[in-house]
Chain A
Amino acid sequence: MSDAAHAHGHDDHGHHAHPTGMMRWLTTTNHKDIGTLYLWFALIMLFSAGTMALLIRAELFQPGLQLVHPDFFNQLTTMHGLIMIFGAIMPAFTGFANWQVPLMIGAPDMAFPRMNNWSFWLLPVAGLMLFSSFLLPGGAVAGGWTMYPPLFIQGGISYDLTILAVHIMGLSSIMGSINIITTILNMRAPGLTLMKMPLFVWTWLITAYLLIATMPVLAGSVTMLLTDRNFGTHFFNAAGGGDPVMFQHIFWFFGHPEVYILILPAFGIVSQIIPTFARKPLFGYASMVYATASIAILSFIVWAHHMFAVGLPAAAQLFFMFSTMLIAVPTGVKVFNWVATMWKGSMTFETPMLFAIAFVCLFTIGGFSGLVLAIAPVDIQLQDTYYVVAHFHYVLVSGALFSIFGGIYFWLPKWTGHMYDETLGKWHFWLSVIGMNILFFPMHFLGLAGMPRRIPDYALQFTEFNQIATVGAFIFGFSQLIFLVVVLKAIKGGARAADRVWEGAEGLEWTVPSPAPYHTFETAPVLK
């Protein structure tokens, strides 16, 4: 793709006047502006929910109750999960999609720019609703991010507010997904066939289908919660003939594909970074595409591995156990391909590559602990212990979040026109990777020893590993301030970035100037 004809964008001259200041951001239909909004929103949510995590870890530094009331502790764990998933990770990936998908496929913008604006601005509304629930009588929701009845049927007004916020965030995701799929299917540059698309575009195409298939299911399940709470229905109320376990089935039919919604774009980002810094084409491109699609399809037939402890029939336990293990096959293909791409490559280790390599190593640890949990008899022992917390944080922090950091370092020079501070970037990486492992690795031992999750107090024998984890949490948490400094410095100034920022970079986005002009590819580039 590097030999694609240059289709330089140009400045706003000749276009009608754009609003400035706050009105620019409120009314913008430009994919780059909206991408920037998504990324800043995600960063604010990351710091907010990260602060909640530090409060949780501070409380757990020693046994007994120190800092927060147990009910507030439950609110913190619930809101931390909800905000990190729906407010930080998902919007961050959507920010990448907004910035990069049109640039990578040679499109002038997203297919529906006005709907794109609406998709974003629904999110701060939902975020405000979630945060304001802390101020309501009874405080914020405290029943866990999974919203299980009966707790979620019994809570106060903040539960209704949260259900409404989830509806709004779901609507935003569905509209965003429609935009992304339509853009990719209809607006690719001439010559850019599906099997020539960059892996990041492929992973987002598949992720957007997953979103369209699962978000309505989540919306349906929380709608039933809402009617159970307010309109006298008994979908999930056992006293009225309903079935609370049915909620778990419906929720996890959404929830497990959601896990892949959070990780497939990460696979895409890493698949762009590793070939660039290994200076080799991605090994096994076609197998990467098919592996991504396989993971997405398999994600719909594994949901009940989250529910082994509810008393499933043995045949169902076996089915969900083996189908879950099957996901290791396409995931293994991906890890093999990333390693094979690096094999005998001319590798350099700039910050994006460091995050990508850490992703491959640490995400694999999270994948392996997932395989352990897939074994039904083992899962029944480890259900609701810190082993599960360790598992999904290895997937979501060293997996999803590290890929986001890697992607931002990778494309920040293209977005801002300035190189970031490499020294600070490396400090951010090493403190993050060390802090993250000190934080989450001891949780495996805590879980194996039987420490339950979602508790503000614990038995004395768990003290040491909890203290280690809390130290790691503060190292990891405060090292994110370095990331903020790096981003602000790059926005403000720094060494000029070349059009093709990285020596090994391939793709249409590197054919436009740095920073990418406000309008790009108004004339479609032609790929040879």
Chain B
Amino acid sequence: MSDPASMADKPNGKYRTAAMLAVLALGLFLFTLYSGLK
């Protein structure tokens, strides 16, 4: 978000953001299952 002028055109940025969020969600799901095993 450092350069407001370039915000409208970030073709790869959106895939990176989405991938990080998806990994976070999957990690939390697996961690919940792991916490249930203890």
Contacts and interface: CB of A to CB of B under 8 A. Distances in A.
A383 interface: no
Contacts of B6: 190
Residue among A178, A193, A250 with the highest chain B CB neighbour number at 10 A? A178
Contacts of A1: none
A380 interface: no
A52 B4 CA distance: 49
A198 to B, nearest CB: 16
A264 B21 CA distance: 20
Interface string A150-194: 000000000000000000000000100111011101111111111
Given A188-B8, A189-B8, A193-B1, A111 B36 contact: no
A215 B4 CA distance: 32
A235 B25 CA distance: 22
A183 B36 CA distance: 34
B33 A220 contact: yes
A74 B31 CA distance: 33
A219 interface: yes
B7 A188 contact: yes
Interface string A190-225: 111110000000000000000011011101110110
B8 A524 contact: yes
Contact of A186 (B5, B7, B33): B7
A220 B29 contact: yes
A186 B4 contact: no
B35 A250 contact: yes
A177 to B, nearest CB: 7
A190 B36 CA distance: 46
B15 to A, nearest CB: 8
B21 A181 contact: yes
A286 interface: no
A178 B36 contact: no
A220 B35 CA distance: 10
Contact of A224 (B14, B17, B33): B33
A67 to B, nearest CB: 40
A246 interface: yes
Interface string B14-38: 1001100110111111111101100
Contacts of A250: 32, 35-36
Nearest to A189: B8
Contact of A112 (B14, B24, B25): B14
11 contacts: A112-B14, A174-B22, A178-B18, A182-B21, A185-B1, A186-B17, A187-B7, A190-B5, A216-B32, A221-B36, A235-B36
Given A178-B22, A217-B29, A217-B32, 5 more contacts: A186-B10, A186-B14, A188-B7, A216-B25, A246-B36
Interface pairs A-B: 5 shortest CB-CB: A220-B32, A216-B29, A216-B28, A524-B8, A186-B14
